Amino acid sequence: MSNALSKSRYISAVQCAKMLWLKDHKPDVFDESYLNQAVFDAGNEVGDLAMGLFGPYTEVPYGDLGEMIRMTKQLIRKKTPIICEASFSQDGLFCSVDILKNIGRKHVELYEVKSSSHIHDIYLDDIAFQVYVLHQCGYQVDRACLVYINNGYERIGELDLSGLFRIEDLTAVAYAKQPEVEANVESFRTVLRKRKEPARDLGACCFSPYACGFFPYCSRHLPKPNVFDLAAVQLRTKLQYYRKGLISFQDLVEAGCLSSSAKLQAETELYDLNAHIETDQIAEYLKNITYPLYYLDFESFQPPVPLYDYSFPFEQIPFQYSLHYQKKKNGRLYHKEFLAYPYDDPRRAIAERLCADIPGDVCVLAYNMSFEKSRINRLAELFPDLREHLLMISSHIVDLITPFQKKWFYCKDMHGSYSIKAVLPALFPDDPELDYHHLAGVQNGAEASAMFLKMRFMDQETLEENRSYLLKYCELDTYAMVKILQKLQELTKE
Ligand code: SF4
């Protein structure tokens, strides 16, 4: 067991000291599915790019801690002006500074880089800890700043780092937090010395600022399902119920405190009720759907650093779509698809293909249409020559989520959710053809985005293999819509 506090361990402990203890004493109960590798990768990419923000720099290579610290001292001694990943340690405390300006005479400025367009409170703790460690090492921190993403930056031509990044001077806040850091360090060390698991009740810290991977372990004593499984209830309200002892679905239903949709979820699961179906509402909704009918689904990715001209940080860039279509009700099913190669801006090609594949005056079905509409409208903005056709497509989209979002159809296996990943298995429980888990390589949208981003670095053979995974995944999304619509039509048959 280690008494050492690195910056990341300190940040974990600020969120919850029990998390720090569990990391050391029971690492095997951590649920890895809570980790988001894509976010981690994006952070690394932004960090690498930001290194050049102040001109030429020297990077301390990641590796043996002692070696990183030794090299940092040497670089400071040699008056190296900009040092990236400058590493410091004193009395069991350790941190690496993303960008360190070496002013001389033991005066420095530190810059913490985040792949985010907002300043979150936890970043202040992060910076305050670094200032504390550097002081312990005998340095005077003249400035402590956060470097984060300016989401108003539009790339045109070469990347302009000074436009892409914002710099916020947090020196005053970091200094004001020094007594708190000192007290925290003391208290976290006391926790680490304990043999017994610290008592800590579930609370907001389990979900924010980061979802804690120890939650399944810490909530193992709760009945299943419980208040935290309610889908249509805000976290704050769930925690209020929890603190009042309203934990099981039985408690919640008996207390009569739930909204109609949360009550529907709780009662359906608790009493094993049959599906709730409002056929009149569904029949009315189905009148909006006309033939020929096109089923459309996009995949997109959100690079924090804009890769293409006329794009913004974190902009959703569509790179793929699947399109099923039927000329008449119950008619033959056709399929078209588009998947960009990862090297060039995919937007012009996708816009052209959409216009070629979808006539402007047909009904288009999407699941959660705000996404498809917003992407098509953005393409219309970018390509005035295709604008009219694209806007026609967008204006004819009907949302297949509506009957499920409005609870006109609800069954217990949806567990309060109306996402297509919940609706599909609930409607077709034992159909391997409609089971995302049977897909190789890519099983959800996040994996599809991550895959497309990684494709830039793949050899041709691996790239083609992964393209086939993406094509199959996206095809299932629209095929699922075909089957879901069919089911709704069957439910409303006289
Ligand atoms: S689940 Fe909650 S109580 Fe348990 S370690 Fe994580 S934050 Fe702490």
Residue closest via CA to ligand 1's atom 3 equals 202
pLDDT for 2:
62
Residue closest via CA to ligand 1's atom 1 equals 215
Task: Note the pTM of the prediction, 2 decimals.
Answer: 0.90
Nearest-angstrom CA–CA distance, 74 and 219: 48
Strands 140-149 and 107-113: parallel
14 CB near ligand 1 (under 6 Å): no
Residue 254 sits in the same domain as residue 354:
no
Residue 131 sits in the same domain as residue 256:
no
Residue 264 sits in the same domain as residue 402:
no
Contact (Cβ atoms closer than 8 angstroms) between residue 319 and residue 339 = yes
Residue 476 sits in the same domain as residue 373:
yes
Nearest-angstrom CA–CA distance, 482 and 105: 70
State CA 249 to chain mean position distance. 29
Residue 44 sits in the same domain as residue 114:
yes
Residue closest via CA to ligand 1's atom 4 equals 218
Rg (CA), the chain: 27
Contact (Cβ atoms closer than 8 angstroms) between residue 303 and residue 453 = yes
Of the residues 250, 270, 290, the one at which a domain ends: 270
Contact (Cβ atoms closer than 8 angstroms) between residue 185 and residue 350 = no
200 CB near ligand 1 (under 6 Å): yes
Nearest-angstrom CA–CA distance, 489 and 405: 17
Report the residue among 212, 217, 235 best suited for mutation to probe ligand 1: largest number of ligand atoms under 8 A from its CB: 212
* Position 436, amino acid: Y
* Position 227, amino acid: V
Report the residue among 14, 16, 31 best suited for mutation to probe ligand 1: largest number of ligand atoms under 8 A from its CB: 16
Residue 443 sits in the same domain as residue 308:
yes
Of the residues 211, 238, 270, the one at which a domain ends: 270
218 CB near ligand 1 (under 6 Å): yes
The tens-digit pLDDT sequence of the chain (494 residues) is 467 899 999 999 999 999 999 999 999 999 998 887 666 666 788 999 999 999 999 999 999 999 999 999 999 999 999 999 999 999 999 999 999 999 999 999 999 999 999 999 999 999 999 999 999 999 999 999 999 999 999 999 999 999 999 999 999 999 999 999 999 999 999 999 999 999 999 999 999 999 999 999 999 999 999 999 999 899 999 999 999 999 999 999 999 999 999 999 999 999 999 999 999 999 999 999 999 999 999 999 999 999 999 999 999 999 999 999 999 999 999 999 999 998 889 999 999 999 999 999 999 999 999 999 999 999 999 999 999 999 999 999 999 999 999 999 999 999 999 999 999 999 998 888 888 888 888 888 889 998 998 898 899 999 999 999 999 999 999 999 999 999 999 999 85
* Residue 199 covered by a domain: no
Of the residues 270, 305, 338, the one at which a domain ends: 270
Residue 123 sits in the same domain as residue 85:
yes
Q: What is the C-alpha end-to-end distance of the chain, expressed in Å?
A: 68
Residue 444 sits in the same domain as residue 332:
yes
Nearest-angstrom CA–CA distance, 118 and 137: 30
* Residue 201 covered by a domain: no
pLDDT for 431:
87
Report the residue among 15, 202, 208, 220 best suited for mutation to probe ligand 1: largest number of ligand atoms under 8 A from its CB: 202
* Residue 198 covered by a domain: no
Which residue's entry shows tokens 């690492």? 27
Question: Which residue range(s) make up the domain with 237?
Answer: 222-270
202 CB near ligand 1 (under 6 Å): yes
Residue 343 sits in the same domain as residue 435:
yes
Give me the CATH number covering residue 359. Answer: 3.30.420.10
* Residue 207 covered by a domain: no
Give the Å distance between the CA of 242 and the centre of ligand 1.
15
Partners of 126 in the beta sheet?
none
| Cis status, amide bond into 304, omega within 30 of 0 | no
Q: Give the chain's domain count.
A: 3
Handedness of CA 377, 295, 398, 264 (dihedral sign): negative
* Residue 208 covered by a domain: no
* Residue 206 covered by a domain: no
Handedness of CA 16, 21, 23, 27 (dihedral sign): negative
Contact (Cβ atoms closer than 8 angstroms) between residue 479 and residue 436 = no
* Residue 403 covered by a domain: yes
Nearest-angstrom CA–CA distance, 469 and 443: 9
* Residue 446 covered by a domain: yes
Residue 35 sits in the same domain as residue 149:
yes
Residue 418 sits in the same domain as residue 467:
yes
pLDDT for 256:
95
Give me the CATH number covering residue 112. Answer: 3.90.320
Residue 230 sits in the same domain as residue 312:
no
Residue closest via CA to ligand 1's atom 2 equals 206
- Pair of tokens at residue 40: 């981690």
pLDDT for 433:
85
pLDDT for 35:
80
212 CB near ligand 1 (under 6 Å): yes
Report the residue among 11, 208, 215, 239 best suited for mutation to probe ligand 1: largest number of ligand atoms under 8 A from its CB: 215
Nearest-angstrom CA–CA distance, 423 and 419: 6
Q: Which of 259, 169, 215 is nearest to 33 (CA)?
A: 215
